[in-house]
Structure 1
């Protein structure tokens, strides 16, 4: 597939990196330094120019393009890019936007603005926050098979009850599969005798109940459904979207906003949320308002540094769990090390959603882990699959190392895979796949 990515910032660069091995990718940006960096670091055609200009799109070979992804930081520019692409070619177009009003307008009219698929950064980020908040201790959460199967990633700390245990000893939950251990730069496909180390990230796949039980065994932190109170700090667009999603799920959260006019506006727009006007970096206010009694604090201010400060203050007064928005991807690991339990980067969330959509065109669903070090795929099995009407043990002999069958959905029922389990046509199989063998696996299954 021939892909043109317009915008070589954090979003566009991540998308290009995810697609370069499988597709012919051209990246367009007005910044000469970014273009030069991509030229030497990625297997892509990097072009300096304006992606809204017909001449630039022609230089990127728009006539033969199958997909155009507009990923600059300006919503209107992305929409114009898609319209221009449609004017001189017939590619599938994807636009990244931050304004939910544009998303709602596009949803009401198929193909509006010349956009075939639209991703809203703020909404995607809020959905990610709520999904992670719903599972204690999780750093990443996705659902498969119409909600029947849950995948989650957990950091194993030195105090974790399973640190130092073998996988067979730790696997004491029904309908749960240890899919992988992400260990430093390695992806370890665990066997029964594999020892789980502190510092590993454990990826598990199974029923919602089993994954939740596993999470509860790892940490005393409450899940969203068990939380007595959730506090959102910051009336930003991401903060507001998070509050709305929580309202939709029946939770009455509190939102702290410093600006008087913004606080009044949000109090009217969020009837199910208690809006407090104050500075959340004021520890006296946090103590006075009993924020320490809340179970989860979500830091959604516009400054990464302030989100870190709020998280540190929340931890200091006794909050169990903090989730923070971190705009600069290079800060994520640092912030998680020094104070935020889970850092969510909106640009990375958007890049993963767009890349996930391109992969979904040949699979039912996709989750990307650790900046695409591994993927979890949901695939419907047909007669062309190496798994068709074979036991898992037999079929795995024809698949490369780095693949784990995590779960099987058959006619709406969950089947926990074992070596002797026979996969049938029409089954939905959830696979963990090391990215290094992704092409070989998708071709085989």
Structure 2
């Protein structure tokens, strides 16, 4: 497959890095230095120029492209780029937009704006935050097989009851698989004798009930989030509050601007909107921030989000989730005390990459900026898994592949050594990034 990516920023670079190993990729950007750097780092064709210009797209061989991905930081540029491509080719077009208003318009008409698929960054970010709020101890959460299977990533704290236990000691759940441990720069496939060390990130796959039970075991002091405070009435803050309402919660939202606060109060009937400065200590104390389960910082810049998160936690809030626009700041935020840092650009890159791979997998979750993936596949007759017990088929799987869960006819099947995987089953697997190419040829 030949893919043209317009925009060599964080999103475009991440997508190019994910696709370049298995597809031919061209990247277009007006910044020649960015293009040169990406060509040096990743095996892609680099084109310097305006992606909304037909001549530039011609230089990128748009006429033979299977997919065009417009991923600059400007919504209008991305939409115009897709429309321009449509005038000369039937290439499938994907546009990244920040504002959901374009998404709502696009959803009203098939291929509006010349866009075949639209990804709304702010909405995706809010959805990622909402999943974490639903499982407060987790750093990342994804669902598979129509909600029957859940994948979650947890950090093992020094105070966690499972710290320094072996996987065999910690594994007390019938429908839970310890898929992987992320330890420093290594991906460890756990065995029964593998020790869960403080600082490890553990990936588990299983039923929602078992994952939630494990979450409580790993962090017994973190209960389900009922009291949620959203800081900032940005588009991300608005969508987060709206999604939490849809889940039956009654969040509070703090917005300093009078007009914006009034607008949000009118649109969010199930949310209490407070007009104030979220970095005002006295205000937070009056609002009993010490009783808050999760604070979501969704202000208009990273520095404010860091300040609001740390202040709320200092005053007693249990956990803090912060929107971090710069991907480079994510490790810093989590190192100084923010529990979960959500990067909109990374969430967008994951969603676009997931969509481009849907012909290979039913669903894809990208782990830790492409260190690994969790895939949902439907087992076909050519798969090494088909009609064989798991203990036989694993010998034909590459190292770094773990079978996490199986669903059959809408029912969860617990994977054991003697479990026979049938054609048509949906299997959720953890795959180390280094094993992706080899796995794709046998699954």
Which TM-score band applies after superposition, normalised by the shorter structure? Answer: over 0.9
CA distance in 1, matches of 2:220, 2:316: 13
> Which residue is equivalent to 1:293?
291
SS of residue matched to 1:314: helix
Q: List alignment gaps of at least 5 residues for structure 1.
A: none
Out of 318, 332, 354, the residue aligned to residue 334 of structure 1 is 332
Is the contact between residue 136 and residue 221 of structure 1 (CA under 8 Å) also seen in structure 2? no
Is the contact between residue 5 and residue 26 of structure 1 (CA under 8 Å) also seen in structure 2? yes
> Which residue is equivalent to 1:356?
354
Q: How many residues align?
A: 443
> Which residue is equivalent to 1:79?
79
Is the contact between residue 136 and residue 216 of structure 1 (CA under 8 Å) also seen in structure 2? no
Out of 289, 292, 304, the residue aligned to residue 302 of structure 2 is 304
CA distance in 1, matches of 2:217, 2:396: 36
> Which residue is equivalent to 1:70?
70
- CA shift at 1:280, angstroms? 0.7
CA distance in 1, matches of 2:291, 2:159: 24
What's the TM-score once normalised by structure 2's chain length?
A: 0.99
- CA shift at 1:388, angstroms? 0.5
SS of residue matched to 1:146: helix
CA distance in 1, matches of 2:50, 2:216: 51
> Which residue is equivalent to 1:442?
440
- CA shift at 1:339, angstroms? 2.0
Is the contact between residue 247 and residue 273 of structure 1 (CA under 8 Å) also seen in structure 2? yes
CA distance in 1, matches of 2:229, 2:338: 15
Q: CA RMSD in A?
A: 1.0
> Which residue is equivalent to 1:173?
173
Is the contact between residue 182 and residue 202 of structure 1 (CA under 8 Å) also seen in structure 2? yes
Q: How does 1:184-199 map to 2 (within 5 A)?
A: 184-199=184-199
Is the contact between residue 70 and residue 82 of structure 2 (CA under 8 Å) also seen in structure 1? yes
Q: List alignment gaps of at least 5 residues for structure 2.
A: none
- CA shift at 1:33, angstroms? 1.5
> Which residue is equivalent to 1:388?
386
CA distance in 2, matches of 1:228, 1:205: 24
> Which residue is equivalent to 2:227?
229
SS of residue matched to 2:420: coil
> Which residue is equivalent to 2:160?
160
- CA shift at 1:444, angstroms? 0.6
- CA shift at 1:136, angstroms? 2.3
SS of residue matched to 2:365: strand
Is the contact between residue 221 and residue 320 of structure 1 (CA under 8 Å) also seen in structure 2? no
Is the contact between residue 152 and residue 205 of structure 2 (CA under 8 Å) also seen in structure 1? yes
CA distance in 2, matches of 1:374, 1:35: 26
> Which residue is equivalent to 1:254?
252
